[in-house]
Amino acid sequence: MTKHPGGPPSPMGHPGGRFSGAVVKPKNQKQTLLRIWSYLRLQKVELLSVILIVVISTLLSLVGPFLIGKTIDDYIVKLDVNGAVKMALVLAGVYIASSVLTWVQTFVMIRISQKTIHRLRQQLFEQYQSLPLAFFDKRKQGDLMSRMTNDIENLNAALSQSVIQIVSSFLTIIGTAFALFYLNWVLALVTLIIIPLIVWATKQIIKRSSVNYKERQRKLGILNSYIEETISNADIITLFGNERQGIEEFQEANENLRTSAMRADTISGFMGPINNFMNNLGLSLVIGTGAIMAVTSGLSIGVIASFVTYTRQFFRPINQLSNLLNTFQSAIAGSERVFEILDETQEVADVTNAKVKDKFAGNVTFQNVQFAYEQGKPILHGINFHAQAGETIAIVGPTGSGKTTIIQLLTRFYDATGGRILLDSQPIEHYQMSNVRNHIGVVLQDTYLFSGTVRENIRFGKLDATNEEVEEAAKVAYAHNFIKYLPEQYETVLTSGGLNLSQGQRQLIAIARAILEDPDLLILDEATSSVDTMTEVHIQKGLTNLMKGRTSFVIAHRLKTIENANQILVINEGQIIEQGNHQTLMNKQGFYAALQRQLMA
């Protein structure tokens, strides 16, 4: 039993279709940064403490070059050894204090970053749980996983490593500029000549790299999606001998990612060499001008030494800001992808004063129900039927006729686009959505078991069930007969999907899960279509026990399994073309009778 009916992942497609697509243009980066700030400002105290520490450590780093110049002019030039030693100790104390404060600010910023990422990751996961089924029908699982992992981690790297560097860099630039003008305004102007060139070069690189970083994240999501799909369908790939095709498709996706990453990193990689060149050019101008001024106007050696140190200190944060663009471009691109999911419309909210029932009788009525997944492409056309409490309603018809769509409307994974669905004589929308789903049990053809013990998987139907209740449900479902022979019996750990059990054993556990849930309505979707005859006998016994006293909807291709149904709905092209019990439909010699003859031929 599972709460979310759905099919297996999509099969492997043709390489040309899977990895092609339009380049995603970058969105509003300013808006993205403001949204990131909305998370950071929730920790104002920690942020203020970091900023205070950064200010103090930056001031200490600015004091160093000034003291170096004073030491040269006041002690070294005058050969005052004692004074020079004292100043050396003072300098050591300044730089040690600055280093300690740098470590503290890094530690605090990591805490801020982790709290922010924890909150964002939690919101994204909760959003995944709140989105309608239609959202997941149109998305690749690997891409959604990539947003939860890679994209959020890129933001984490930017926050933990870069935020304090940005604050420190701006403070250092401002403080150093003030110190430069204080020491000598002429040399300060010479130093600032290079700034416009650095700003221009940085702007050009940002403009070209932002698009490429966004595209790189998109290609990474595609690659992750393909990896997840391939691993999930390893048995199908092996069965059809398509390993070579899988390798070729992965090679194409991997190459697309490599090309995109190379383009993004190469363009942003120009930043370092260009800045180093400009830094050295600026330093050369300062030294040359300082030498001329020393000869012509008596500029002291100490001032020149301080200027050289300050100049390096001035350009270093500019280099850091430029190099941080790589990290920030990835973080912004990843954040946009995360916020894109957070902005998706959640599942339709309950109506005002939605009803809650402890138990449903199980009367279900479809009145002229119509539905279309896409506007203008109807799937169901005027579906009408009534199921009395406790009846078994079988739904048969060709693939794609709309059988599963009827079930998805009943579970409110989708809402009808026309007509009404009544549950116990009330429109189904008048009940809380969660209330309806909690009273519906589902057993699928391809049931899903979670990583964990057999007991935990059965208990998923009722999380507060006792061990005795779990085992009793297994006995009623005829699952206890094989569970007792497992290595650890009910404590046997299952792999993801329960792949260390047979298909029939997984079905029996799913039935036990549904029995433990004790639903008022039951949905069986091809529950016995993929097992052998002997296993089917056990499953049918379990299903018989499960269906007692419940309104049951059965989708089946094996018409033998539904001959005792109270009603059989024959669906074709989204319409009920025949309706009645088995004998009535056989007497009509229509579509249903033709299906029976085909199966017996």
Q: Which two tokens stand for residue 39?
A: 């998370």
pLDDT digits (tens, 9 = 90+) for 340-361: 888 877 766 667 777 888 888 8
| pLDDT number for residue 323 | 64
| pLDDT number for residue 3 | 40
pLDDT digits (tens, 9 = 90+) for 520-530: 888 887 655 55
pLDDT digits (tens, 9 = 90+) for 535-572: 666 667 767 777 777 888 888 766 666 777 888 888 88
Rounded to 5 degrees, what angle do the CA atoms 479, 481, 487 make?
95
What are the strands, taking DSSP E only, across 472-543?
493-494, 521-525
Give the integer Cα–Cα distance in Å for 384 and 391.
16
Q: Which residues pair with 453 in a beta bridge?
A: 493
Backbone angles phi, psi at 443, to 5 degrees: -125, 120
Please determine, for residue 444, whether its predicted confidence score (pLDDT) is greater than 60. Answer: yes
Confidence of residue 383 (pLDDT cuts 50, 70, 90): confident
Tell me how far the alpha carbon of residue 471 is from its chain's centroid: 36
| pLDDT number for residue 536 | 63
Give the integer Cα–Cα distance in Å for 270 and 205.
8
Give the integer Cα–Cα distance in Å for 461 and 238.
33
Lowest average pLDDT, out of 44-53, 67-76, 148-157, 432-441, goes to: 67-76
pLDDT digits (tens, 9 = 90+) for 168-194: 777 777 887 787 788 777 777 877 777
Q: What is the DSSP string of 223-292?
A: HHHHHHHHHHTHHHHHHTT-HHHHHHHHHHHHHHHHHHHHHHHHHHHTHHHHHHHHHHHHHHHHHHHHHH
Mean pLDDT of 84-88: 81
pLDDT digits (tens, 9 = 90+) for 425-439: 888 888 888 788 888
The answer to whether domain 30-342 has CATH 3.10.310.30 is no
Mean pLDDT of all residues belonging to the chain? 76
Q: Where are the domains of the chain?
A: 30-342, 364-600
CATH code for the domain defined by 364-600 = 3.40.50.300
Residue with the bigger pLDDT between 158 and 2: it is 158
Burial class (CB in 10 A: 0-12, 13-18, 19+), 141: middle
Burial class (CB in 10 A: 0-12, 13-18, 19+), 182: exposed
Mean pLDDT of 250-255: 79
Please determine, for residue 57, whether its predicted confidence score (pLDDT) is greater than 70. Answer: yes
Identify which of 110, 94, 96 has the alpha carbon closest to the alpha carbon of residue 50: 110
| pLDDT number for residue 528 | 56
Question: Would strands 567-572 and 392-396 be described as parallel, antiparallel, or unpaired?
Answer: parallel
| pLDDT number for residue 459 | 84
Mean pLDDT of 310-318: 73
pLDDT digits (tens, 9 = 90+) for 276-309: 677 677 777 777 777 777 777 767 777 777 777 7
| pLDDT number for residue 350 | 67
Contact partners, residue 348, CB within 8 Å, separation at least 6: 132, 415, 433
Identify which of 459, 376, 380 has the alpha carbon closest to the alpha carbon of residue 420: 380
Please determine, for residue 51, whether its predicted confidence score (pLDDT) is greater than 70. Answer: yes
pTM, two decimals, is 0.60
Give the integer Cα–Cα distance in Å for 340 and 26.
12
